[in-house]
Chains A and B, each alone.
Chain A
Amino acid sequence: MPVKSSQAAPGRPGWVALIACALLGVSAAWAIDPTELPDPKLQARYLALTHELRCMQCQNQSIADSPVGLASDLRREVRDMLVAGKSDEDVRNFMVARYGEFILFRPRFSARNAWLWFGPVVLLALGCFVAIRILRQRAALLPQDTEPVDEDLRS
């Protein structure tokens, strides 16, 4: 029983409760965006979208994490569009048309950035090609060079 514990160690549960209350206050103060959409499905999509859109004013934060006015305006746009029945892609297109691809934290595939996606694969293939050629050249040299040494070791 909690009463007993407080009798056993007078004063201590009081401190614990105080710290717990203080922490509760902190977590509430940290929540920049208190929006709750009526439909939990919409709310989940809203949270996902606002976390993948960049706050253009403070460029390393998402609009979900940023306290600036523009971010809250953009959150309102996202909210209004979702409530109006628009798809996630509609929201992304809306943002890209105004702010450019840079607003997306996850860039889309396009002809312009294709080399970024395929570059590593091409480089890997090139590396494999060079490595195989070197290994083959060595393999061709090895039998002649090593055999006499092996003979020496055996005797």
Chain B
Amino acid sequence: MNRFLLPLGVFVLLAVVLAIGIRHSPDKGIIVSPLLGKAAPEFSLPVLTEAGRTLRSSDLRGRWYVFNVWGTWCPSCREEHGFLLEVQKSGRVPLIGLDWRDDDAQARAWLAQLGNPYETVIVDREGRTAIDWGVYGAPETFLVNPQGIVVYKHVGALTREAWETEFLPRISAQAAARS
């Protein structure tokens, strides 16, 4: 009996370690952003639809906003576009679009054709702001609270499921804590 105890112990330990490892990697393609819980990176970028206007990150302080990174070259952005329009219709939280490494004329045509879900779209032609936000593929969607802290990041096309399970509860939770 005693001579089986050690190998059994080692086996159980290994099984537990591997089980934890498997549990913690549901999506190997998705990398947890180091930005979560930190202040949203600052930016000051031109607005796509109004020549001469710039939007600064400080302009957005004091309210929730969703920061959505997209580009006309990105097929998944087309896929999520319909749902973004629904989010806009719900009126819960404004969408700020970051048009990443894109052509302005094409971006305007895209919005004219598919509808514009964004309160403001800013243009990041050189991709510097995207790097500051740790963006590695479009679309990516961040949730930023009124204190300017990034509270959630979604990688890939935004889905109703992600919206209802990850975004909305976070917004309601803080609103409830306030009142």
A: residues with CB less than 8 A from B are 56-57, 69-70, 73-74, 77, 96-100, 102, 130
Contacts and interface: CB of A to CB of B under 8 A. Distances in A.
B167 interface: no
A98 B137 contact: no
Given A69-B127, A70-B127, A57 B31 contact: no
Contact of B34 (A57, A73, A96, A130): A96
Give the 4 A-B residue pairs with the shortest CB-CB distance, closest first. A56-B136, A98-B134, A73-B127, A100-B34
A74 B126 CA distance: 11
Given A70-B136, A74-B131, A100 B126 contact: no
Nearest to A76: B126
A77 B31 contact: no
Interface string B95-132: 00000010000000000000000000000001110111
B101 A99 contact: no
Q: Interface size bucket, B side?
A: 10 to 19
B31 A99 contact: yes
Interface in B19-67: 31-35
Q: For the complex, would chain B's binding face be called helix, strand, loop or mixed by DSSP majority?
A: loop
B133 interface: yes
Contact of A98 (B6, B101, B126, B131): B131
11 contacts: A56-B137, A70-B127, A70-B135, A70-B136, A73-B127, A97-B34, A98-B35, A99-B31, A99-B136, A100-B33, A102-B31
Given A69-B101, A73-B126, A56 B31 contact: yes
Nearest to A56: B136
A30 B111 CA distance: 37
Contacts of B134: 98-100
A56 B134 CA distance: 10
